[in-house]
Amino acid sequence: MATTRRLTADDAAEAGALLASGKLVAFPTETVYGLGADATDGEAIARLYAAKGRPSFNPLISHVTSLAAAEALGRISATARALGEAFWPGPLTLVVPATETCAVSDLARAGLGSVALRVPDHPVARALIEAADRPIAAPSANRSGRVSPTTAAHVLADLDGRIDAVVDGGPTAVGLESTIVALLDDAPRLLRPGGLSRAAIEAVLGRPLEEPLKDEAAPLAPGRLASHYAPTAKVRLDAEDIFEGEAYLGFGPDRLGLRAKAVAYETLSASGDTIEAAARLFSCLRALDATGATAIAVAPIPDHGLGEAIRDRLARAAAPRG
């Protein structure tokens, strides 16, 4: 990657244009510095995971500038609206069912039917998202396993040379990540404590926040999903042959001629590019699953680049389940 450009709060229009063209731009929010990418662009999201060096695909929070913009992406119930009106802009993330037309990419949602939404309260973040004119995924702007950055210098210490730009807007105010509340069933559930207190949220709800569910889309702890997107068909990894009734998910050139033997075929990346493969992972699994094939045989995926995260996700899809 080229050198990381240093931008200031005056460069919001330029930074927004970079985001809109698929580039990675770190910027301040009121919580911590986020590493922004176009949430609707699967390949930009794949590059974001690569820059952070994340070994797995967790769902990301999409940042928008208004409740109205959130409504285009997620189903906003009366409860969600009450919380949004009380605390947006601010350090509250709502996990809600995605709309039919939700523009947030499969990869940013880790294949889930829900979407995490937030309206940040920082002039630079808002100006950038407005200029980009699309939802911006922005996990903390640090290498995987390091602490969240609260200054542009922290961001550069971790990501210089790995991202396209950083917008220096001074130190962030909260320093804690956003509080995450799931509104996916009858009960509002606290998925992650953060910059907005439980008491403040419960005062608006008029009821206590419940524990996360231990099933679909409920993290056991921040960053750990108890369940995850899994196809109905069985998934068989490192396939070197195709069995009766199997679909084939390829990667790289089809040297063994397996495509012809399969009942259905998709390729993660014909050229063997792990960024393209990550961006296509969930949509390929979905497409093959929809054919009704009994199993999906998956070509070997290399360990380099995003290969590790792709393999991690496929291994979970392949794990026995009850």
Binding site for Mg ion (CB under 5 A): 140
Element (H, E) at 318: helix 307-318
List for the chain the helix, strand, coil content (%; round to 5). Answer: 30, 20, 50
- Enumerate residues 249-308 that contact ligand AMP by CB under 6 A: none
C-alpha count within 13 angstroms, C-beta hemisphere, residue 16: 18
| 114 vs 140, beta carbon nearer Mg ion | 140
Size of the site for ligand AMP (CB under 6 A): 20
Answer for which of 42, 59, 135, 169 binds ligand AMP (CB under 6 A) is 59
* Neighbour order of strands in the sheet with 246-250: 234-236, 295-298, 246-250, 265-267
Structure-block tokens of residue 48: 């974001």
Q: How far is the CB of 116 from ligand AMP (least distance, A)?
A: 3
Which residue matches tokens 């009450």? 82
Task: Determine if 61 is a binding residue for ligand AMP (CB under 6 A).
Answer: yes
| 5 vs 192, beta carbon nearer Mg ion | 192
| 75 vs 143, beta carbon nearer Mg ion | 143
Picked from Mg ion, ligand AMP, none, the partner binding residue 114 (CB below 5 to 8 A depending on kind) is: ligand AMP
Task: Determine if 51 is a binding residue for ligand AMP (CB under 6 A).
Answer: no
Q: How far is the CB of 26 from ligand AMP (least distance, A)?
A: 13
Element (H, E) at 199: helix 198-205
Answer for which of 70, 92, 191, 209 binds ligand AMP (CB under 6 A) is 191
Answer for which of 76, 112, 249, 306 binds ligand AMP (CB under 6 A) is 112
Nearest to 50 by CA among 166, 163, 137, 164: 163
In three-state form (DSSP H/G/I as H, E/B as E, the rest C), the secondary structure along 247-283 is: EEEECCCCCCCCHHHCCCEEECCCCCCHHHHHHHHHH
Q: How far is the CB of 46 from Mg ion (least distance, A)?
A: 18
Answer for which of 19, 60, 275, 296 binds ligand AMP (CB under 6 A) is 60
Q: How far is the CB of 177 from Mg ion (least distance, A)?
A: 7
Residue 255, phi then psi, degrees to nearest 5: -65, -30
| 192 vs 198, beta carbon nearer Mg ion | 192
Element (H, E) at 153: helix 152-159
Give the separation between CA 28 and CA 16, rounded to whole angstroms.
Answer: 13
| 11 vs 177, beta carbon nearer ligand AMP | 177
Name the residues that contact ligand AMP, by CB under 6 A: 58-61, 95, 109, 112, 114-116, 139-140, 177, 180, 191-192, 217, 219, 222-223
